[in-house]
Amino acid sequence: MLDYLRIGAVVYFALFVSCLEAKTPEQIFQEASRSVVVIHAADQEGNPVNQGGGVVTGKESVATNCHVVTEGARISVHYGKRVFEATLKHSDLERDLCQLEVPRLDAPRATLWTGRLRVGQRVYAIGAPEGLELTLSEGLISSLREFDDEQYIQTSAAISQGSSGGGLFDSEGRLIGITSFFLPDGQNLNFALPSKWIEELGSRAGNAAGAAGEKDRVARKWAGRIADLKAKRDWTAVLSVAQQWVRSQPMHATAWQELGDAYRSMNRPRRAVSPYMQALRINPDLFESWLNLGFSYLALNQYDRAIESFVEALRLKPNDATALYNTGVAYYFQNRQDKVKEVHAALGKLDQKTAQEFAKKYITR
């Protein structure tokens, strides 16, 4: 009986200590937010290019996502009411992880946790979504995703536009990841880079001078892998690699276009729309994205939007028969025979065979 009492006392004491160690969300924010900064990237003239977060991980050193800073010529770090000029010291574009050197930044460094993580454990994201001041969101580790022998943290803690580069902290306030990416067409599909990558950054990364060339090298690597998989018609693998590419280079328009193409190839036009729109937000002069966005809207019977997309494609390539033909198809399903006839006449000037084919299907006798 005495042994049972002793065992019970030990268990109770362990639970008591555990409760004492657990911190409230308020405590976690007050402590961890002291190591989180806001980053602004601007062009040579000082015009804003991008904004995100960063985490102090060493003396005058800040970790963030590369896509927050690499598009800017000038980088500033905002900590409280103070502003510091920063330079890019290390960049690992393949992992989308960069390190800034911030002279005179006197802020406490975050405590890194590189040990085992568990699906279901509670986590807290601290960043600056939509340009707001530091914001706290709470959630769980939803999954630990394996991609190319690398492990990403999937979390239900909200990550919004502008949250990139912020910190993901555990219930003890330790930094377990850098908030990086979210899929806008899904629920709770938010991702963070594990904090152990911060420790590996110096050995893996290039310097600032080689950042532009490294960015192109990484993009070519992803594009080559997708091309190989397309040749095999392995669309599931194409989709997986395209998702990884947009995680690695979220500001690369072609990556988003490839993701849209992957969804279209799998007959999922509704899922394709968002990646195409993201590609066009980054680069509005991508003909293939406008064309394939139009095809996606056609498949969804959203004819007004299909026409708008095909018209944008024709803006870039006025004599493209495919874009013109499908503009006429969208007009046909709107029962706008006057417009259908205009398209037929325009096709006749470009390609008589295509015009005849179009007339057989869509000109009402």
Active site residues: 67, 96, 164
Q: Provide the CB-side half-sphere exposure for 115 (13 A, CA).
A: 4
Exposed/middle/buried for residue 162 (C-beta within 10 Å: 0-12, 13-18, 19+) = buried
Q: Provide the CB-side half-sphere exposure for 332 (13 A, CA).
A: 17
Residue for token digits 């091309």? 227
Residues 293 and 280: their CA atoms lie apart, in Å, by 10
Q: Do residues 247 and 222 touch, judged by C-beta distance below 8 A?
A: no
Q: Which two tokens stand for residue 76?
A: 């500033």
Q: Do residues 72 and 127 touch, judged by C-beta distance below 8 A?
A: no
**CA 170 to chain CA centroid, nearest Å:** 22
Name the packing angle between helices 287-299 and 321-333 (round to 10°): 30
DSSP class per residue in 127-175: E-GGGPSPEEEEEEEEEEEEETTEEEEEESS---TT-TT-EEE-TTS-E
User: Residue 272 is which amino acid?
Assistant: A
